[in-house]
Structure 1
């Protein structure tokens, strides 16, 4: 038996070295704005993005991973186990 989990990709604009961690909401182009306190050094900001986003979505840390933009502020993150509609619903509330 093969079971495929639903997943989606989200474009994120990250502000590293912020005063607090948080999800700020979606921009007009559909990009999610986030801020993390971690500096963009040795993958610390990427790890913080996954941690903050997984907590906000209520999924395990392993279900969220950065797939593109590991050294940029604009990243693409894959969320396994949720559809795009579920992600938007959970982040809106």
Structure 2
């Protein structure tokens, strides 16, 4: 299992490292023990956080309400809680 993913009863916890204001939104591999995600949105007024939640929800085919930012609101390193994540969540997140 990847270091950036922790499984619990009916949810997963993701540790991500974000790069805001990138050319496009995409997964860029691993960054230490976190999943690196480049975001096209700037880190202004919470736009990068909203884009991150939207991106993860889309990748996992879940509603945005299933993805919650637990920590790192103003940091590049963030922790997300995802409820109802599919069994193949790591593969979907990596775009495989």
TM-score, normalised on structure 1? 0.82
Runs of 4 or more above 4 Å deviation: none
Query: Take 1:40 and 1:27, find their aligned partners in 2: how far apart are those partners?
Result: 19
Gaps of 5+ in 2: 1-8
| RMSD of aligned Cα (Å) | 1.8
Match of 1:58 in 2: 61
| Structure with a larger share of its residues in helix | 1
Unaligned runs of 5+ in 1: none
Question: TM-score, normalised on structure 2?
Answer: 0.80
The count of corresponding residues between Structure 1 and Structure 2 is: 87
SS at match of 2:88: helix
User: Are residues 1:49 and 2:52 paired?
Assistant: yes
Answer with 1 or 2: which has the greater Rg: 1
| Separation in 2, partners of 1:28, 1:68 | 18
